[in-house]
Amino acid sequence: MRGGGVGRRAARRAGRRWRNPAAALLLIGFIGGLAGGLAAQTPPAAADETAQGGAPAHVPPLAAANLRLARRDVAAPEARQGEALGARQDKASASAASVVAARALAPGQGAPAPGAMPARVWTLAAALRRALGQSQRLKAAGAEAQAAKAGIGAARSGLWPRLGVAEGVTRGDDPVYVFGALLRQHSFGAANFNLPSLNRPGALTDWQSSARASVSLWDGGKTRAAIRGAKAGYRAAGAARRQTREQVLAATVAAYYGLREAEANWRTAQRAVQAAEQSQHDAQARYRAGMAVEADELSADVYANRARQARAEAGGALAMARARLNRRLGRPLAAPLALAAAAASNGTAPLPATLAAWQAAARRRRPDLARARAQTAAARAKEGEARAAWWPQASAFASVERDQSGFTGAGGSDWMAGVQVRWSVFGGGARRAAQAQARAGTEAAQAQARSLSRAAAVAVQGAWYRWQTARRLRALSRANARRAAAALAMLRRRYRAGLAPLRSVLDAETDWTRARAEEAQAEYGWQMSRAEGLANLGELNFAHAAALAANGVSGGMAAGGAAANGAASGPAAWTVER
């Protein structure tokens, strides 16, 4: 037994020093053979001990060492069973702790607390509708559009006549006032020509009722220019509102699919932990059976802890993704929610097939370009208003008036009508400065429109290439995920058969986890590239945004559906999705 103990201790030391399983096994064989040779040269007392509990003399040295280790294990079944039971308890405790930690780090996971309300299942259409209804930015943009629309009516009012009425009462003894009031009341008599009464008349009350109408006949085109400017301002406000609406839709789509990606990553991390724990169990079993070195067990422990760390990070990312979507929906940040599974739909989000078609559609439909064009038209209208100040203005008016000494009673009525022409000959240079200011505003608006048009062309081209790239990455990531799962299953079978080292299995598990994460990221990128393409084309309306959820959602992203916020599905043992 001394040789077997030496061989086993040497094997453990070799396992600690050597990370390469093949080199460790060679060293074990060498040390085992040396120990067997020393055991064959033991004195008679030791030979009797060997005859009682050792190996027969005809057994080769390495096999004799292994046989002695096996007999030692059989001689202490209770100790071996206790060790195995303790290992199973440790593994069960670690699994329970990992499940508790996973549920704590992934908010909304697991069974709901007693009395808690179940999480509402949100479709993309419902999320978009809720986000549009509670968006304060969209409400502000709508109010600005209404104000701009009212400005059109204010500008058009310059084409309509002005009509006003007035009622007043005056009392005094001013000679001129008394003389005129008597004339307007048609009560002037011969006695009022008396000089003392003309110079010092008595106090007189005059109740006056009047109505006046006027209309502009010509204002140099100022009113027409103001109407054009108001209409252009309304178009700019409408385009700004449509742009804000598209931004709200795009942000909600990003938050929705960001949560879906976070859920897929958390499920992948949970399955990675299960796979790592299975590898940990396999390494422990092989080490205790003498088929692997202790380094395999330690490597599996380290890998399992790293997988748990990755799951903790995925749980935090899931909580943040849920908070971002709740913010878009106007709900408490920690409120539970669940995403509905993607359903088949006949609706499609249209995207042109060529880059030239994208550029043409963007020039027609992009709200920022439409807003820039409207702002340029409004600046030109301001310039027309400034030019109109150089022209004369003509207007017509008519008025009727009734004067009487009391609120009721006899009195006199008269009317007046006429045409008036006004022309400002010199205004101190104000008109010239206003015209120069308006011209500079037009040039600035035109320059901004040209710059925005070039920037939009670059943005559309970038969105086009990202859409094309996302399509390819999506297909490649799916294929990579399938191949990584197949490779992992193959290597695990070979490891259990003793034909592959543990490091290859752990590397395959890492590749599979990365492939699953890349698949979720590629799916998110694919959906966002479509939303970005629609936004760059100016076509991201509610119907097209809602149709994104029903086109091209992969099984990895849609897995679980409304149950995506529940506990991770799948057996406790390691599984690979094919």
For 318-350, the pLDDT digits (tens) are: 999 999 999 999 999 989 888 887 654 444 557
Cα–Cα distance, 70 to 59 (Å, whole number):
14
Query: What's the mean pLDDT in 426-436?
Result: 90
Q: Per residue in 167-184, pLDDT tens? A: 999 999 888 888 888 888
Put the strands of the sheet holding 393-404 in their side by side order: 162-172, 204-218, 393-404, 411-422
pLDDT in tens, 246-296: 999 999 999 999 998 899 899 999 989 998 898 889 888 888 888 888 888
Does the pLDDT of residue 94 top 80, yes or no?
Answer: no
pLDDT of residue 193: 75
Question: To which H or E segment does residue 225 belong?
Answer: helix 222-288
Kindly tell me if the per-residue pLDDT of 22 is higher than 50.
no
Q: Where are the beta strands (DSSP E) in 251-294?
A: none
* CB atoms closer than 10 angstroms to residue 402: 17
Nearest of 308, 309, 293, 274 to residue 502 by alpha carbon: 293
How are beta strands 337-339 and 411-422 bridged, if at all?
unpaired
